[in-house]
């Protein structure tokens, strides 16, 4: 069942979402060659705690980090490690959330480290653009399929693959709420979008193919093709005036 939020609840969510957004922004400023993903994770954890919030992901389902940090052909859910060192040319995906005053925020971005290939740049740009096209489709009266169709129709024109096995979701008092928000679908199909819905829309796009696999650690998701993957995410609220991005710094 979809939990619709009233204006007071959406207002309360703004704080968690702002902290989440500022944490993600900090990640982009900190990432550099030679840094381990664990060092980055520790700094993000410290920042969230200083804001009086709790990392949404730490301990969630047993996840051992504050943030999911995934490199290159890793799609999502990369476990921070002292052994994983960020290098020039990497694509670094950071997915992080914060919990405060009874609500969660959730957002993600892909960062380029130094010089990257034209294909990697196109993948990043197309994935980011598809997120905003999906948000534009998240208006009252539209259907859930309109969101997924907006992502799929944009990225597939470049030959990229939309991950099917993992999707966006509702977010609010729980980190994962109904409904699931796929990044693929048919326009005009699915449940109707209503004011009060709060959704984490998060395109996960592979350079080649949509197939993914989970590694032996039980968390890290990689592309089967070995190709690069990009990931962007915002938490939004659907209002009578249209979608509002809550995860802005």
pLDDT in tens, the chain (249 residues): 899 999 999 999 999 999 999 999 999 999 999 999 999 999 999 999 999 999 999 999 999 999 999 999 999 999 999 999 999 999 999 999 999 999 999 999 999 999 999 999 999 999 999 999 999 999 999 999 999 999 999 999 999 999 999 999 999 999 999 999 999 999 999 999 999 999 999 999 999 999 999 999 999 999 999 999 999 999 999 999 999 999 998
**Chain centre to alpha carbon of residue 158:** 21
Q: Which residues pair with 100 in a beta bridge?
A: 103
Angle in degrees, 0-180, between the axes of helices 118-137 and 144-155, rounded to the nearest 10: 160
pLDDT at 179: 98
Residues 184 and 152: beta-carbon distance below 8 Å: yes
pLDDT at 139: 98
pLDDT at 12: 96
Six-digit token string for 143 = 């259907």
> Residue 50: how many CA atoms within 13 Å on its side-chain side?
8
pLDDT at 247: 98
Q: Which residues pair with 69 in a beta bridge?
A: 94
Q: Which residue has the tokens 């696999």?
A: 213
pLDDT at 43: 98
Residues 86 and 31: beta-carbon distance below 8 Å: yes
- Domains of the chain by range and CATH? 7-242 (3.90.230.10)
Q: For the stretch 40-72, what's the b/e string if a residue is b when 16 or more beta carbons lie within 10 angstroms of its beta carbon?
A: bbebbbebbeebebbbbbbeeeebebbbbbbbb
CA dist 14 and 34 (Å) reads 34
Six-digit token string for 51 = 């804001």
Six-digit token string for 60 = 């969630």
Six-digit token string for 34 = 């030679």
CA dist 122 and 2 (Å) reads 35
CA dist 247 and 24 (Å) reads 9
> Residue 32: how many CA atoms within 13 Å on its side-chain side?
3
């Amino acid at each position: 069942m979809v939990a619709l939020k009233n204006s007071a609840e959406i207002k309360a969510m703004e704080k968690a979402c702002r902290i989440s957004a500022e944490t993600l922004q900090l990640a982009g400023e900190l990432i550099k060659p030679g840094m381990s993903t664990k060092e980055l994770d520790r700094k993000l954890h410290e920042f969230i705690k200083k804001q009086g919030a709790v990392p949404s992901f730490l301990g969630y389902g047993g996840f051992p980090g504050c943030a999911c940090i995934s490199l290159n052909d890793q799609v999502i859910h990369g476990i921070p490690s002292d052994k994983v060192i960020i290098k020039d040319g990497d694509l670094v995906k950071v997915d992080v959330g914060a919990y405060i005053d009874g609500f969660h925020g959730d957002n993600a971005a892909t960062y380029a480290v130094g010089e990257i290939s034209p294909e990697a740049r196109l993948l990043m740009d197309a994935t980011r653009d598809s997120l905003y096209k999906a948000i534009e489709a998240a208006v009252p009266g539209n259907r859930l399929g309109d969101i997924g169709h907006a992502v799929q129709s944009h990225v597939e024109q470049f030959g990229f693959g939309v991950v099917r096995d993992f999707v966006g979701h509702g977010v609010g008092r729980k980190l994962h709420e109904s409904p699931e928000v796929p990044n693929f679908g048919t326009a005009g199909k699915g449940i109707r979008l209503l004011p009060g819905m709060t959704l984490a829309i998060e395109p996960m796009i592979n350079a080649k193919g949509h197939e993914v696999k989970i590694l032996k650690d039980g968390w890290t998701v990689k592309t089967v093709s070995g190709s690069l993957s990009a990931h962007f995410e915002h938490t939004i609220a659907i209002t009578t005036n249209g979608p509002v991005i809550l995860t802005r710094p």
